[in-house]
Amino acid sequence: MSESGSGQLKVAVAGASGRMGKMLIDAIAAAPDMVLAGALGVPGSPEIGTDAGAGSGQLTGVLIQSDLALGLADADFLIDFTRPEGTLHHLDYCVANGIKMIIGTTGFDDAGKDAIREAGARIAIMLSPNMSVGVNVTLKLLEMAARSMAEGYDIEIVEAHHRHKVDAPSGTALKMGEVIADALGRDLKQCAVYGREGVTGARDPSTIGFATIRGGDIVGDHTVLFAGIGERIEISHKSSSRVTYAHGALRAARFLASRDKGLFDMQDVLALS
């Protein structure tokens, strides 16, 4: 891996003009061991050709580019919190050019997940639907809780996000469901219930329910309910700022710095696996 002359990690950001992109750019600027080495935007966006730090009033000298060759020419890492189709396009370029990826994009279908898994045989990738340290500690707690309450408890996952979020349930909620299902020896695809309406009949105790709320500027709230007879346990995580995701992504880049290839998640980064 090449680094800048000062030994800093050279990091590019996809979706540089979006809310998460701007947060990442600010976090990189504040990190003494990193430098912003590139910024990507959607073709046709009015921000193309402008300074990546203009949105926060902190000029970086890095222009937002839609051409991957220009935007990633100096980068060793790409942090990507965009959309599945964009991330997979970036993935092909990163594999061909040996650029490590930190992927926080959600909503991948099975083919997309397979493509990322295959790419991990050639470059180092950290894939996580939520890079918050707190969320990933919560996932570990859910694994422990599910094993202890495997019988006699109904499991429901409730998530809330801002009005602009386009996928549901959230990637974090789905990851919570996967962790719980794995701990119980179930297949989430077979036991998940994503909506209830009308006369549904009694609840199947083997299912894991999901409920989705969209509104306002909610950054991200997740609660898992284990409801038994005579008691219920709620494990919750609430985000008040996207900065926690940015800090997690930078922590992931530091983790990947010593790895040439492989597919990792935040549980690996935090030594929770």
Kindly report, residue by residue over 213-222, the tens digit of the pLDDT: 999 999 999 9
Q: With the C-alpha atoms ordered 72, 102, 30, 271, is the resulting torsion angle positive or negative?
A: negative
In terms of pTM, does the model score above 0.85?
A: no
- Active site residue ranges: 161, 165
Other C-beta atoms lying within 10 Å of the C-beta of residue 53: 21
Q: Determine the residue type at 35.
A: V
Give 19: exposed, middle or buried? Use CB within 10 Å, 0-12, 13-18, 19+.
Answer: middle
Write down the pLDDT at residue 3.
Answer: 45
Write down the pLDDT at residue 7.
Answer: 86
| Strand pairing class (77-80; 9-13) | parallel
Pick the CATH number of 133-239 from 3.40.50.2300, 3.30.360.10, 3.40.930.10, 2.60.40.180: 3.30.360.10
Q: Any idea where the domains of the chain sit in the sequence? A: 9-127+242-269, 133-239
Order of strands across the sheet that contains 9-13:
64-65, 34-40, 9-13, 77-80, 100-103, 124-127, 262-264
Q: The domain 9-127+242-269: what is its CATH number?
A: 3.40.50.720
- Same fold for the pair 9-127+242-269 and 133-239: no
CB 245 within 8 A of CB 20: yes
Mean pLDDT computed over 171-184: 96
Mean pLDDT computed over 163-190: 95
Q: How confident is the model at residue 160 (pLDDT cuts 50, 70, 90)?
A: very high
pLDDT above 80 (res 1): no
Kindly report, residue by residue over 18-62, the tens digit of the pLDDT: 989 999 999 999 999 999 999 999 998 999 999 999 877 789 999
Write down the pLDDT at residue 6.
Answer: 63
